[in-house]
Structure 1
Amino acid sequence: MSVVWQGFAGSLLLFLGSLGVGWLAGSSVLIRTPLIILARTTPAAVIVTTLLLCLGAALMLRAWLRLRQHLAAWDDTARPVLAKALALWVTPMMFALPLFSRDSYAYIGQGRLMQEGLNPYTNGISALNNYFVLGPDTLWTEAPTPYGPLWLWLEHLAVMLPAPSPEIALIPFRLASLAGVILLAVYVPKLAARHGLNPHRTTWMVVLNPILLINFIASVHNDSLMLGLVVAGIYYASTRKPILGILLVTASIAIKPITLIALPFVGLLWAGAHAGWVRKFAIWAATLAISTAVMAAMGAVNGLGFGWLAALQTPGTVWIWYAPVGLLSNAVGFVVGLFNAAAGAAVTDVIQTVGQAVSILLVMALAFVKIPLPSAARIASTGLDTERCYSELVLRRMAWAFAAVVLLAPMIQTWYMLWLLAFFAVTGIKEGWQLRVVLYLTAFFTAIALTDQLSIFPWIPVVLIRIVAISATVICITYVMFWDRKTRGSFLPRFDALVQSR
């Protein structure tokens, strides 16, 4: 199928573009290789590789949209096509230099902290000698790690590999990201089918989504393994295997503790649709006890205990313009700061603190307010039994809980969208405006990724490359959304007839 190979071509262009503007550590031996020198040392070469990135991402977006059109029936013939597309789209990016993020180099720095016997929950990477040659983003070099003990072990393992260049240490992180995508490819369709949804359509929407592949594979984010584990855990909790579900969710927490949010909902799945409050609180207590015991054991082994609790606020120290709370707090703080600088900073902090407090209250309300049993009419309309309808309701509550935390935070990273996409998709995203929201967000965050962090040598005019990246991104993404006769119907309802064309 040509659209599958079109996505492969896009992924290949992302790989080629990474040679010019992907991230390399200052100590990397690759910097001295002829191909990298050619791709990174002149403005013309950097412009070309930047254009390759923009074209590659646009091709992947277009291929993803066209794949939906070709598989519109979503029958069993879709399964091998989706599997082939996933394999082909992932492979080139597995060999790319890290794109749009330096988090993978921060992982190496945190592993070095572990190797030198320093506590990464109290020390930033800047505690290391010559830390800057490791390639981390300076925004985070003084911050403690926000990651759990399982990820710290992987970081420690990575830096123990014999390697002439830091890029060798990225291999375990690449494999972990791939493992997360594979877990999603296995358990997203299983959860969707359990809730009476088409598993192939849900796999396309979540796992083949170009934003997921770019952020999890090309950018090497540990959210991939975190999300894969929590989705797997939720599946087992939903299918009456609560202990396995709790262990998998706890493993996810031990990657990034944000998935603590999932624990009370796992407890609700374990308690069952007909549980009273006594049983619910007993199950919640048991769920928390099992998860806490496992995390305590991990903390005892690495000698760091529950140090990750104090580091949970690390990602909340920055903001971004498209985060509602971030924009509001800093806009109001700026205006107040025109009259009193100290008061302006205080107002910003207060608004962000209120946003976090409201998100916590919403999570608690979503977890503890009773979920009404599905009506007989609903059960009849869906063809599901009571427990499966209840599972869908619980997981939709959980999806909104994660949405509250994300939307009320001052910083929304591109990959946060993927948490919400997975959780909402396995409980149902309908055709029409709901799917169109997903498509617009995918296009938006693709554009954000392409215009975000590019690695450019100091003697290359940064403003010029930024203008090229923004211009090319706007042209490519806008073309796919509004001018391409094959794909614009996905975004503009009046062209829906064209969407069905082959």
Structure 2
Amino acid sequence: MTSARVVLPEVELKVLKKFPRGTGTAASAVWQGFAGSIMLLLGSFGVGWLASSSVLIRNPLFIVARTTPAAVIIATVLLCVGAALMLRGWLRLRQHLAPWDETSAPILKKALMLWVAPLMLTLPLFSRDSYAYIGQGRLMQQGLDPYTDGISALNNYFSLGPDTLWTEAPTPYGPLWLWLEHFAVLLPAGSPEIALIPFRIACLIGVVLLAIYIPKLAARHGLNPHRALWLVVLNPVVLINFVASVHNDSLMLGLVVAGLYYASAKRPILGILLVTASIAIKPITLIALPFVGLLWAGSRAGWVRKFAIWAATLAISMGIMAVMGVMNGLGFGWLAALQTPGTVWIWYAPVGLFSHTVGFVITLLGGAGGSVTDVIQTIAQGISILLVMVLAFWKIPIPAANGVAHQNPDALDETRRHSQAVLRRMAWAFAVVVLMASMIQPWYMLWLLAFFAITGLEEGWQMRTVLYLTAFFTLIALTDQLSVFPWIPVVMVRTVAIVVGFACVLFIMFKDKATRGLFLTTKPEKAAEPA
């Protein structure tokens, strides 16, 4: 972690003086999060995802935990209380460690290690994507094209444990991740859980990259690196979705953030290589390429230089991707896979809700509702592409030296202010793509959190928005995908998850005297209660 001296401005210090400091109380917050992580581990034994071909499913401990209604309910309660404890521990760290001086670093590192370690041992929680990775690896092993063939092309594919939502869909991943999937299924083991180990390690590497480069980029832009580390990397939504759920977005995001750091530090080739590696995990980070080019071009570049640098950036990146395509024999098949996430929708995605609501009404009136839904989603996608282009091509003004809250009072040089402005524009480009999509997964929020955090999130409504979104997506995870055997009423289990999850999170937000002041602004906060 960087040792750059970053001083918080008076406005933030006034906000944070309301919260007491002290190693002892910060330590109690760390242990709260650790206890929550242990509860998530224990809860995963009852409602985490297991493939039907797993040897663990015949283990007496797992049989009791997964087939006894009382044990399943207990596991569900453990998940909800554990996630709430992690959320509370994260909030209390903010209060106890303000104003984020150098003594914060060892506490944050200790918290990260303690909170991550138990999550590395959980059964996959709230998602079966990790089992889809195994299925796609099997496709590679059998010489099938995962960009055209779904997992259902495999014999007995259901025994691998993937979500049926994706078994007919082509993979949305790049060649680098496909190689890792292929390697995983070559491991000599009789259990899918062994094949998950490479994916867990890859996700851990992603978290480590974020822990290294989020603070570095924040400090480069005059922002407090310790605050950025807490805000992004220790965020419970990050740890739950990247570690416990085993999502490859962890490695994707870690690589692109590392690439952005080197591009902003005038090492553009290394930056392009890392961003290209990120694209080779999930191609969505193609959005970052034009902004990497702007960093390379510099703050005073004219249009001729910008277009020349853009061409060079694209040539280097796509040249590497072409080589990967030749090596795996799949070419640029990943380009078509960019459409895969658009085949589903969710209720809290504005475009998804609107398009399907309109389509439903049109169907009721006897019209072609499905076609209307497709048209709306296509228009939204076109608008998002247009806005990304506008954000990349529009002249980016360089902000004043002290134009962003939390910035170092010492004026940043022009290069760093240019970097901050370019990456802020890139953050908005990703935000446009996410908000205009019909499907918004909880971990999509984490892309935006990282990019906005490294360019400056102010206290006040911006920070409260992050806190509310963190609470919301924590609840979404808890009430979403739980593995429940057919003879146990899934409605009962999900009802328990909804009731307990909402009760715990709402208590933290609005009743807990120690944390409710972070969400409410009507009255000045009193001194925080002991942890």
TM-score range, shorter chain: over 0.9
- Which amino acid counterpart does residue 83 of structure 1 have in structure 2? K
| Paired position in structure 1 for 2:377 | 352
RMSD: 1.2
**Which residue, out of 71, 85, 88, partners 2:114?**
88
Selected match of 1:366 from 369, 382, 391: 391
In the TM superposition, what is the alpha-carbon distance from 1:381 to its structure 2 partner?
6.0
Aligned to 2:463: 435
2 CA distance for matches of 1:486 and 1:143? 46
Residues 257, 312 of structure 1: 8 Å contact kept:
yes
- SS, match of residue 71 in structure 2: helix
Residue 409 of structure 1 is matched in structure 2 by: 437
1: distance between equivalents of 2:401 and 2:453?
A: 24
Cα distance in 2 for partners of 1:345, 1:236 equals: 45
- Identify the residue that residue 133 of structure 2 maps to in structure 1: 107
Whole-angstrom CA distance in 2 between matches of 1:411 and 1:51: 28
Deviation of residue 146 (structure 1)?
0.6
CA distance in 1, matches of 2:119, 2:364: 46
Shift of 1:382: 6.0
1:176 and 2:202 matched: yes
Moved over 4 A (4+): 375-382, 499-502
User: Scaled by the length of structure 1, what TM-score is found?
Assistant: 0.98
Match of 2:291 in 1: 265
What corresponds to 1:255 in structure 2?
281
Aligned mate of 1:297, from 323, 345, 351: 323
- What CA distance in whole angstroms lies between the structure 2 residues aligned with 1:460 and 1:231? 43
Q: Does 1:484 align with 2:509?
A: no
Alpha-carbon displacement from aligned partner over 1:236-274 (angstroms, at most 9, x marks no partner)? 000000000000000000000000000000000000000
1:61-460 map, 5 Å: 61-341=87-367, 343-375=368-400, 378=403, 383-460=411-488
Output the CA distance in 2 between the equivalents of 1:31 and 1:383. 60
Task: Give the AA of the match of 2:520.
Answer: L
Which range is displaced more, 402-411 or 377-386? 377-386
| TM-score, normalisation: structure 2 | 0.93
Report the count of equivalent residues. 501
Shift of 1:375: 4.4
For the structure 1 residues 165 and 495, does the alpha-carbon distance in structure 2 shift closer, same or farther, using more than 3 Å as the test?
farther
Question: C-alpha deviations, 1:288-318, integer Å up to 9, x for none?
Answer: 0000110001111111110111111111101
In structure 2, give the amino acid aligned to 1:75: D
Measure the CA separation in 1 of the matches of 2:292 and 2:320. 16
Q: Secondary structure at the match of 2:118?
A: helix
Change (3 A) 1:310 1:294: same
What amino acid is the match of 2:165?
Answer: L
1:494 Cα offset (Å): 3.1
Contact 1:374 1:386 in 2 (8 A): no
Residue pair 2:352, 2:377 contacting (<8 A) in 1 also: yes
Structure 1: give runs of 5+ residues left out of the alignment. none
One-letter code of the match for 1:349?
D
Contact 1:487–1:499 under 8 Å retained in 2 = no
Contact 1:488-1:499 within 8 A present in 2 as well = no
The aligned amino acid for 1:242 is P
Residue 92 and residue 376 in structure 1: after superposition, are their counterparts in 2 closer, same or farther (change >3 A)? closer
Provide closer, same or farther for how the CA distance between residues 444 and 496 of structure 1 changes in structure 2, counting only shifts above 3 A. farther
The alpha-carbon distance between structure 1 residues 331 and 388, as it changes in their structure 2 partners (threshold 3 A), is same
Spell out, residue by residue over 1:413-461, the C-alpha distance to the aligned partner (whole angstroms, 9 max, x if none). 0000000000000000011111000000000000000000000000001
> 5+ unaligned residues in a row in structure 2: which ranges?
1-26
State the 1:183 CA deviation.
Answer: 0.0
More off after superposition, 360-369 vs 382-391:
382-391
Q: State the alpha-carbon separation in 2 of the partners of residues 432 and 376 from structure 1.
A: 21
Decide whether aligned partners of structure 1 residues 69 and 403 sit closer, same or farther in structure 2, where only a CA change above 3 A counts.
Answer: same
Say if 2:401 and 2:412, in contact at 8 Å, map to a contact too: no
User: Counterparts of 2:413 and 2:204 in 1: how far apart (Å)?
Assistant: 34
Q: Counterparts in 2 of 1:12-31, with a 5 A limit?
A: 12-31=38-57
Q: 1:489 and 1:444 mapped to 2: Cα distance?
A: 17
Q: Which is worse superposed, 171-180 or 376-385? A: 376-385
Change (3 A) 1:496 1:231: farther
Tell me the CA shift for residue 501 of structure 1.
5.0
Paired residues of 1:270 and 1:283 also in contact (CA < 8 A): yes
Whether the 8 Å CA contact 2:136–2:171 is kept in 1: the answer is: yes
Using the alignment, how far apart are the partners of 1:381 and 1:82 within structure 2? 25
Once residues 467 and 478 of structure 2 are traced to their aligned partners in structure 1, the CA distance between those partners, rounded to angstroms, is 17
Answer yes or no: is the 8 Å Cα contact 1:490–1:496 preserved in 2: no
Q: C-alpha displacement at 1:344, in angstroms?
A: 1.0
